[in-house]
């Protein structure tokens, strides 16, 4: 009798996987953002110091890379990608990194990084690529406005995100690929802006990415929101010196995803303990009643909570 709840949870996890696969596989032959042609960007020297001059040089180099990708996309008739890149090539956009290949890799700065005492790095979840980059841009702009002067936000699309509905979204493969990239980026950022308070804000599948690299991330806060789990049973298992915080909106569908890990012969499905559960041990912050994509919505409870965390003014509950 005692094993029945566990058995039901495993069945729910299997059902989730099967439904995911059944939806994903029929559309697997459709055109993917990764299929859009793009040139290899020029290699960039490490950003040694985040001075205005050094940043201007980096922004100019990445703007050239965006324009090169725009020309190729236009030449291939990829209008949707070309439109996205045209917006990204504007003089007011500031990228620390850009690579248009394989769905896109970017790191865009919002605010004045050279004078920022507080820096938030946004790590997105599934379904974000160059064609859907506006979602991440929107969130970064909202957080930047909420934080005000003395802060900067970096939107880090530094990995090949899984499709929202796909087997990759319930396994850790993409996160394992992404984690070393994130660790390297944050290390370069903190070395270029020593003394700044850096917080990592990890949404949905992005929380799996952050968890995979947690032990190598020297940040003040590791914030998991809209998370399906991290693959760790407790915050302590992340082996980080950062304050681990978690939140979930009252209208977020991720609450209904089974928080289990199922070891199969060929892979592990699911990410285990719910980060907002008491047994995980994170500091839980007030995320209001928003949905899965509403955490950085202007005027929301969750946006105010996240801004306080980044600013270092959050109370004991975050």
Q: Quote the CA–CA distance of 81 and 74 in Å, as a whole number.
A: 8
What value does the mean pLDDT take over residues 50-67?
A: 97
Q: What is the pLDDT of residues 160-183, one digit of tens each?
A: 998 777 787 788 889 999 999 999
Environment class of 101 (CB within 10 Å of its CB; exposed 0-12, middle 13-18, buried 19+): middle
Structure tokens at 15: 């059902």
CB 294 within 8 A of CB 305: no
Structure tokens at 190: 């903190």
Higher pLDDT, 298 or 91: 298
SS (H, E, C) the chain: CCCHHHHHHHHHHHHHHHHHHHHHHHHCCCCCHHHCCCCCCCCCCCCCCCCHHHHHHHHHHHHHHHHHHHHHHHHCCCHHHHHHHHHHCCCCCCEEEEECCCCCEEEEEEECHHHCCEEEEEECCCCCCHHHCHHHHHHHHHHHHHHCCCEEEEEEECCCCCCCCCHHHHCCHHHHHHHHHHHHHHHHHHHHCCCCEEEEEEECCHHHHHHHHHHHCCCCEEEEECCCECCCCCHHHHCCCCEEEEECCCCCHHHHCCCCCEECCCCEECECCCCCCHHHCCEECCCCCCCCCCCCCCCCHHHHHHHHHHHCCCCCCC
How much is the pLDDT for 173?
Answer: 86
Q: What is the pLDDT of residues 201-220, one digit of tens each?
A: 999 999 999 999 999 999 99
> Helix 173-192 to helix 206-213 angle, to the nearest 10 degrees?
70
Structure tokens at 256: 């209904």
Higher pLDDT, 188 or 15: 188
Q: For residue 245, is pLDDT > 50?
A: yes
Higher pLDDT, 30 or 157: 157
Q: What is the pLDDT of residues 264-307, one digit of tens each?
A: 767 778 788 999 999 999 999 999 999 999 999 999 999 999 99
How much is the pLDDT for 34?
Answer: 64
Structure tokens at 114: 């050279």
Q: What is the pLDDT of residues 273-285, one digit of tens each?
A: 999 999 999 999 9
How much is the pLDDT for 172?
Answer: 83
* Mean pLDDT of the residues in the chain: 88
How much is the pLDDT for 268?
Answer: 76
Cβ-Cβ contacts under 8 Å for 273 (sequence gap 6 or more) = 229, 230, 232, 233, 234, 259, 279, 280
Can you say how many angstroms the Cα of residue 64 is from the centroid of all Cα atoms in its chain?
A: 25
Q: What is the pLDDT of residues 188-202, one digit of tens each?
A: 999 999 999 999 999
Q: For residue 13, is pLDDT > 70?
A: no
Environment class of 45 (CB within 10 Å of its CB; exposed 0-12, middle 13-18, buried 19+): exposed
Q: Quote the CA–CA distance of 104 and 82 in Å, as a whole number.
A: 13
With a pLDDT cut of 70, the percent of the chain lying above it is 87
**Minimum mean pLDDT among 11-20, 22-31, 67-76: which range?**
22-31
The pLDDT-based confidence of 37 (bands split at 50, 70, 90) is confident
With a pLDDT cut of 90, the percent of the chain lying above it is 76
Structure tokens at 164: 């929202």
């Amino acid at each position: 009798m005692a094993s029945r709840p566990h058995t039901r949870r495993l069945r729910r996890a299997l059902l989730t996987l099967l439904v995911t696969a059944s939806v994903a596989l029929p559309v697997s032959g459709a055109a993917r953002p990764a299929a859009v042609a793009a040139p290899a960007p020029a290699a960039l020297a490490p950003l040694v110091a985040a001075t205005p001059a050094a940043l201007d040089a980096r922004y100019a180099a990445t703007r050239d890379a965006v324009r090169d990708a725009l020309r190729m996309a236009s030449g291939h008739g990829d209008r949707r990608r070309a439109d996205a890149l045209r917006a990204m090539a504007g003089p007011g956009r500031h990228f620390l990194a850009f690579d248009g290949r394989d769905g896109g890799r970017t790191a865009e700065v919002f605010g004045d990084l050279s004078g920022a005492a507080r820096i938030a790095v946004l790590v997105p979840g599934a379904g974000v690529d160059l064609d859907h980059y506006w979602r991440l841009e929107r969130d970064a702009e909202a957080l930047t406005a909420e934080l005000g002067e003395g802060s900067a936000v970096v939107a880090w699309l530094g990995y090949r995100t899984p499709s929202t509905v796909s087997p990759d979204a319930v396994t850790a493969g993409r996160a394992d690929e992404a984690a070393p990239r994130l660790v390297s980026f944050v290390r370069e950022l903190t070395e270029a802006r020593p003394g700044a308070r850096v917080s990592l804000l990890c949404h949905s599948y992005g929380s799996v990415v952050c968890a995979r690299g947690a032990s190598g991330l020297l940040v003040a806060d590791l914030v998991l929101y809209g998370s399906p789990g991290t693959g760790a049973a407790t915050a302590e298992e992340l082996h980080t010196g950062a304050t681990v915080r978690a939140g979930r909106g009252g209208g977020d569908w991720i609450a209904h995803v089974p928080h289990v890990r199922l070891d199969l012969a060929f892979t592990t499905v699911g990410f285990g303990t719910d980060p907002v559960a008491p047994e995980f041990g994170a500091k839980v912050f007030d995320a209001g009643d928003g949905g899965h994509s509403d955490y950085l919505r202007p005027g929301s409870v969750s946006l105010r909570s996240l801004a306080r965390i980044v600013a270092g003014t959050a109370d004991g509950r975050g």
